[in-house]
């Protein structure tokens, strides 16, 4: 497909997405099924255009004075990809499979693609209804934080020390030009290509041998800050596909016991294969079994309980820009109710003197500090561990993380702008002994 035809395809998919209010991944998949001539390179390039457009949806609409899919894509080309009016006109030339030629009005709008004087939610490309919540957290930096969340995310890997020796893994992946990350000693960062496409890491021999996992540096840091210790008893209550379970196993050097649970058995499914590949031997997966309480024997016994809570995912908008516009006030209310319930349940499993780590990939205080405060009000036997003390688990880069992140009594908040990671909140609470 020509670059112009890919642009037309992205506009078509965006129209489908808006008309049917469906997730971008579903619309892309359906388009691929009904356009089998499109190769994997075409599909990746089209997805890149679509996701970049969603990243900059509010500012592109502002520049173009329209929410129409075509306008949004054209606006994105100017704002995000820095294309000149002539370069955009060369793509949208009305040729076979190309978008229709630019109108005079479109040319004029693209020529003056300034965001000066636009509202903060436009300049920061986030939903207007979340402005008050985000401003509450970030104050006057809210636009810059939004803009950093509207950029593309890099691809981060975690070296799995159960399988690989860091220097050898780096050498094995040298053709991908991995760079060290700022804070996590075992994180490697891989740059995307100019269209935002990541290399197919999951086909690399080092990946297949379990020497690396794909995991954002923020997620890696969250697990380190939870501080699982070799030989300890750990419950990962919302383990999902096991991103943090796997890292815990490596941090614990396969010693002690990790219980991995999730209320949704389908979410746990990929974990079994991942555990085997990563050489993990200290994990017991406790899958849900109908109404049975599969964790009853763990009450009051855990050295560490991790709640990697279901959340709005506002910290991962770089990776999932579709979610940015799909999240609704009702979903936030539902998530916060779930979080409160899970946190309260989680506290039951912590032994006296043990710790409870609460993690979200949200930036909103409603899902972060407010949840911690609510638990601390209910459970007087728990007290927050200061983030400045907590970061010492990281070793030498700990103080720099505490400096870069936003810290409060309740925990530490990372964000793309502040720490170059996805947005993650980490709170650690200790139960009195």
Ligand X SMILES: C[S@@+](CC[C@H](N)C(=O)[O-])C[C@H]1O[C@@H](n2cnc3c(N)ncnc32)[C@H](O)[C@@H]1O
Catalytic positions, written as ranges: 361
Q: Which of 23, 32, 199, 240 binds ligand X (CB under 6 A)?
A: 240
Stretch that binds ligand X, among 110-118, 152-160, 181-189, 238-246 (CB under 6 A): 238-246
The answer to whether the annotation marks 26 as part of a ligand binding site is: no
Nearest residue (CB) to ligand X, 56 versus 379:
379
Q: Are 162 and 155 in contact (CB under 8 A)?
A: no
- d(Cα 234, Cα 127) in Å, to the nearest integer? 38
139 versus 270: smaller Cβ distance to ligand X: 270
Using CB positions, name the residue nearest to ligand X: 243
Token pair belonging to 113 = 């693609």
Contact 26, 80 (CB under 8 A): no
- Of 198, 338, 348, 417, which lies in the binding site for ligand X, with binding defined by CB under 6 A? 338
**Nearest approach, Cβ of 37 to ligand X (angstroms)?**
36
267 binds ligand X (CB under 6 A): yes
Rg of the Cα atoms in the chain: 23
CB of 219 to ligand X, least distance (A): 6
**Considering only 10-18, 184-192, 261-269, 328-336, which stretch makes contact with ligand X by CB under 6 A?**
261-269
Q: Which residues pair with 89 in a beta bridge?
A: none
Q: Beta strand pairing status for 302-308 and 233-236? A: parallel
**Please, which residue, 7 or 260, has the CB nearer to ligand X?**
260
Helix (H, G, I), strand (E, B) or coil at 233: strand
Report the Cα 414 to chain-centroid distance in Å: 11
Nearer to ligand X, 262 or 303 (CB): 262
Say how many CA atoms lie within 13 Å of 234 toward its Cβ: 30
Nearer to ligand X (CB atom), residue 197 or residue 269: 269
Residues of span 291-310 touching ligand X by CB under 6 A: 308, 310
48 versus 232: smaller Cβ distance to ligand X: 232
- From 32, 34, 14, select the one nearest 24 (Cα to Cα): 14
Quick one: tokens of 223?
């697990």
Contact 159, 166 (CB under 8 A): yes
Q: How far is the CB of 423 from ligand X (least distance, A)?
A: 13
Query: Should residue 241 be labelled a site residue for ligand X when binding is judged by CB under 6 A?
Result: yes
Cα gap 51→138, rounded to integer Å: 25
Residue 250: burial class (beta carbons within 10 Å; 0-12, 13-18, 19+)? buried
Residue 144 binds ligand X, judged by CB under 6 A: no
Establish if 243 lies at the interface with ligand X (CB under 6 A): yes
Structure-block tokens of residue 127: 């939903």
Q: Determine, following the binding rule CB under 6 A, whether residue 423 of this chain makes contact with ligand X.
A: no
Q: How far is the CB of 397 from ligand X (least distance, A)?
A: 21
Q: Of these, 26, 165, 253, 264, which contacts ligand X (CB under 6 A)?
A: 264
52 is in an annotated binding site: no
How does 45-59 read in b/e, with b if 16+ C-beta sit within 10 Å?
Answer: bbbbbbbbbbbbbbb
**Residue 88 within binding range of ligand X, rule CB under 6 A:** no
C-alpha angle 315-319-322 in degrees, rounded to nearest 5: 90
Q: Are strands 382-384 and 257-261 parallel, antiparallel or unpaired?
A: unpaired
Among 258, 342, 363, 412, binds ligand X (CB under 6 A): 342
- Closest contact distance (angstroms) between CB of 346 and ligand X is 9
Q: At its nearest, how many Å lie between ligand X and the CB of residue 256?
A: 18
Q: What angle do CA 320, 30, 97 make, to 5 degrees?
A: 100
State yes or no: residue 237 binds ligand X (CB under 6 A). yes
Tell the smallest beta-carbon distance from residue 317 to ligand X (Å).
15
Binding-site members are 262, 308
Residue ranges in contact with ligand X by CB under 6 A: 237-244, 262-264, 267, 308, 310, 338, 342
Binding-site members for S-adenosyl-L-methionine are 262, 308
């Amino acid at each position: 497909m020509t670059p112009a035809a890919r642009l037309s395809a992205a506009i078509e998919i965006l129209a489908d997405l808006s008309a049917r209010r469906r997730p971008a991944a579903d619309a892309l998949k359906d388009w691929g099924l009904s356009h089998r001539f499109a190769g994997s390179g075409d599909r990746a390039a089209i997805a890149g255009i679509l996701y970049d457009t969603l990243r900059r949806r509010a500012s592109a609409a502002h520049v173009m004075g329209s929410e129409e899919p075509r306008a949004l894509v054209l606006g994105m080309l100017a704002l995000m990809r820095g294309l000149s009016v002539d370069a955009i006109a060369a793509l949208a030339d009305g040729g076979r499979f190309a978008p229709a030629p630019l109108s005079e009005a479109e040319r004029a709008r693209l020529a003056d693609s300034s965001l000066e004087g636009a509202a903060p939610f436009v300049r920061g490309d986030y939903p207007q209804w979340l402005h008050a919540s985000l401003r509450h957290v970030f104050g006057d930096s809210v636009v810059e934080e939004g803009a950093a969340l509207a950029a593309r995310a890099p691809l981060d890997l975690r070296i799995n020390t159960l399988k690989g020796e860091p220097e050898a893994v780096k050498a094995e992946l040298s053709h991908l030009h991995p760079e060290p990350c700022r804070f996590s000693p075992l994180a490697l960062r891989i740059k995307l290509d100019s269209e935002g496409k990541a290399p197919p890491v999951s086909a690399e021999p080092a990946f297949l041998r379990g020497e690396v996992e794909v995991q954002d540096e923020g997620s890696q840091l969250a697990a380190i800050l939870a501080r699982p210790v070799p030989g300890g008893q750990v419950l990962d209550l919302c383990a999902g596909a096991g991103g943090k379970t796997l890292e815990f196993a490596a941090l614990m050097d396969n010693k002690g016991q990790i219980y991995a649970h999730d209320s949704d058995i389908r979410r746990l499914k990929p974990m079994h294969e991942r555990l085997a590949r990563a050489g993990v031997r200290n994990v017991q997966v406790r899958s849900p079994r109908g109404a049975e309480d599969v964790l009853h024997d763990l009450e009051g016994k855990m050295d560490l309980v991790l709640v990697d809570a279901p959340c709005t995912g506002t910290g991962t908008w770089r990776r999932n820009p579709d979610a940015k516009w799909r999240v609704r006030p009702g979903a936030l209310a539902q998530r916060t109710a779930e979080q409160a319930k899970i946190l309260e349940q989680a506290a039951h499993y912590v032994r006296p003197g043990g710790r409870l780590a609460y993690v979200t990939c949200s930036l909103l205080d409603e899902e972060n500090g407010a949840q911690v405060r609510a638990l601390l009000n209910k459970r007087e036997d728990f007290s927050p561990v200061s983030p400045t003390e907590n970061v010492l688990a990281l070793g030498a880069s700990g103080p720099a993380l505490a400096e870069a992140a936003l810290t409060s009594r309740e925990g530490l908040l990372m964000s793309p702008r502040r720490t170059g990671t996805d947005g993650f909140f980490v709170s650690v609470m200790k139960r009195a002994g």
